[in-house]
Amino acid sequence: MREIILVPIDFSEVAKCAMDHASQLALSFQRKVVLLHVVGKKVAGTPKEKVLEDKLKENAKWIKERATVDVSYVIEEGSIFTTIAEVADRLRAEFIVMGIHGKRGVQHIMGSFAYDVVCSSNVPVLLVKRFQSHTGFKNIVLPVDFSAESTQKVIYSIKFARFFGAKISVFGFLNTKNSALVIKKNALLKKVKNIYKEFETEVTTHLCVNPEMDLSEAILEFSDKVNADLIMIVAEKDGGIPDIFGQNTTELLIDKADLPILTVMPVSDPDDTRLMDVVRSFVDPMGVINGKITSKYFIN
């Protein structure tokens, strides 16, 4: 059972934003929060380590004053490029929640490496820039490229929709007006919609056809139009997003979006137990759905 939400912090204001989001997720999902501070070499056993421990204790107290959740912390030596993902794997974390700078075009130390952390992580990463409204996520935008990896996003979004009573706005994009492709993508959107219906999740679908628009711009414009409060995307270890998602789309969204972004790392096998563990723990803790989430949902 994955029950930890890992929060890398550097004691900045955006780190508090991350702690704020993580504490509410932990409260809603009955999970534990673990604060992580990554340090360089020669810190262990020094007075600096004691100072850092005191700061972590203060931040843990700050969380507990806002939510009745279990909070602990860890100081880890290494590089944030790899250490965050390594600690998440070691602790069997379910999510990483990370704060990044809210000013467009300029990312904080935790944001400047956000894309690298996303691509190194085996678990979902929630990137946030602002304190949340404490109402949960009510409208989730899900850009899809109709690949197997994108369908995993469908499953994750069902998980969030159930807990927050959210609706899903599925967004497809084409940069060509080719009628055959438009017909094909609309048919695939209908197939995606049927998955949500099977799990009784409120959903709308939209296909944007605009040769003049960049994909990241299209996603942000649509998200603003439907008043979304979360964008879900699928990251790849080799950089970028598959199919229509260009190599820089994820980085552009991380940089430009004011909304929280949840990135999901695709698994190579549709029946991979990592996906099943996460899905069951949130969507079906009692095993009622059980084998219903299988490779038949992976769209080719």
Q: What is the pLDDT of residues 251-278, one digit of tens each?
A: 778 888 889 998 876 655 444 444 444 4
CA gap 49, 231 in Å, rounded: 37
Q: What is the average pLDDT value for the chain, to the nearest integer?
A: 77
What percentage of the chain carries pLDDT values higher than 90? 29
> What Å distances lie between residue 112 and 1, 19, 35, 170, 254, CA to CA?
32, 19, 19, 28, 10
Q: Which CATH architecture has domain 4-128?
A: 3-Layer(aba) Sandwich (3.40)
Q: What residue spans in the chain does CATH classification 3.40.50.620 cover?
A: 4-128, 139-297
pLDDT of residue 96 exceeding 90, the answer is: yes
- Structure pTM? 0.81
User: Which of the pair, 145 or 106, is modelled with greater confidence?
Assistant: 145
User: Which of the pair, 16 or 283, is modelled with greater confidence?
Assistant: 16
Tell me the one-letter amino acid at 251: E
pLDDT on residue 149: 58
The segment with the largest mean pLDDT, out of 73-87, 106-120, 284-298, is 73-87
| Residue pair 271/295 in contact by the 8 Å Cβ criterion | yes
Given the candidates 3.30.70.1520, 3.40.50.620, 3.40.1050.10, 3.40.50.1000, the CATH classification of the domain at 139-297 is 3.40.50.620
Average pLDDT of the residues in 163-183: 87
pLDDT of residue 168 exceeding 50, the answer is: yes
Sort strands 71-77 and 4-8 into parallel, antiparallel or unpaired.
Answer: unpaired
pLDDT of residue 241 exceeding 60, the answer is: no
| Residue pair 59/19 in contact by the 8 Å Cβ criterion | yes
